[in-house]
Amino acid sequence: MHHVLHCNSDDSMKRLYLLRRAKSGWDAPTQDDFDRSLTRRGRRSAPLMGRFMQDHGYVPSIALCSPARRTRETWEVVRDTLNSEKTEEMRPELYLPEPQTLLDAIRKINTDHPSAIVISHNPGILTLALGLIGKGMDSVNPFGEYPPAALTVFDFDVEKWSDVHPGQGHLIGFTRPKDLDSSA
C-alpha cells in the first residue's frame, strides 16, 4: 500500500515562486545596468511582498537569485521578512536570462527542497511564467507586463525538480505590490 501513503505525502509536489526584482532606477547616466539600485518605490514594495509571503506561509527553502544589485537587494529585503533558514545561490546565468535558462536552473534544484524562489528579470520571468501555466490559459496573459516585485506562485505535481515542464504548473496566485498597497 505504499502508493497510498505516497500520494498523501508532501514530497509529490514542488512549489515555485517567481519574483521579478523590485523597481530600480538609473542613478547615474554612466552607471552599469548590473549595478542599478532599487528606487524608493522598490524599497517600499519589496518588504510588502515579503510580508505577504510570510502571511501566506510562502516560505521557499532555496533561493536562486540573479547577482545584479537590484535583484540581490530585492531578495535581501524579502528574505529578512521571512523568518526561516534557507539556502541561497547567486547565479550569474540568471542575470537578464532567457526563459530556458531559468527553467534549466529550476530543474537542477536538489530534490530535497520542497519549494524554491527565483528572483530575476523581465522579459525572462514573464515568458517563463506564461510558459509554465497549465492548459486552458493559452490565450490569456494574467500577468500583464509582470510589474516589478510581482510574485507568481506555481505548484507542480512532481517529486523531482527535474520533472518540471512547461504547461504543467498549477497557477496558485499572482500578486503585484499595488494589490497590497495602492502607493506601491
Query: Is the pLDDT score of 144 beyond 60?
Result: yes
**Could you tell me which residue, 34 or 182, shows the higher pLDDT?**
34
The confidence score (pLDDT) of residue 32 equals 84
Is 7 a domain residue? no
Sign of the CA dihedral 161, 162, 163, 167?
A: positive
Over residues 66-117, the pLDDT tens digits come to: 999 999 999 999 999 887 778 999 999 999 999 999 999 999 999 999 999 9
Average pLDDT over residues 170-181: 94
Is 8 a domain residue? no
Is 3 a domain residue? no
Average pLDDT over residues 38-49: 93
Query: Is the pLDDT score of 146 beyond 50?
Result: yes
Is 5 a domain residue? no
Is 136 a domain residue? yes
Q: CA-CA distance, 99 to 111, in Å (whole number)?
A: 21
Task: Give counts: helices (H), strands (E), the chain.
Answer: 6, 6
Lowest average pLDDT, out of 25-29, 81-85, 168-172, goes to 25-29
Q: Which domain holds residue 117?
A: 13-180
Task: Kindly indicate the confidence band of residue 29, based on its pLDDT and cuts at 50, 70 and 90.
Answer: low
Average pLDDT over residues 38-55: 94
Please state the domain count of the chain. 1
- DSSP conformational letter for 24: B
What CATH number should be reported for the domain holding residue 66?
3.40.50.1240
Mean pLDDT value across the chain: 89
Is 1 a domain residue? no
Helix (H) or strand (E) holding 182: none
Is 157 a domain residue? yes
Tell me if 102 sits within 8 A of 110, measured CB to CB. Answer: no
pTM: 0.89
Average pLDDT over residues 155-173: 96
Is 4 a domain residue? no
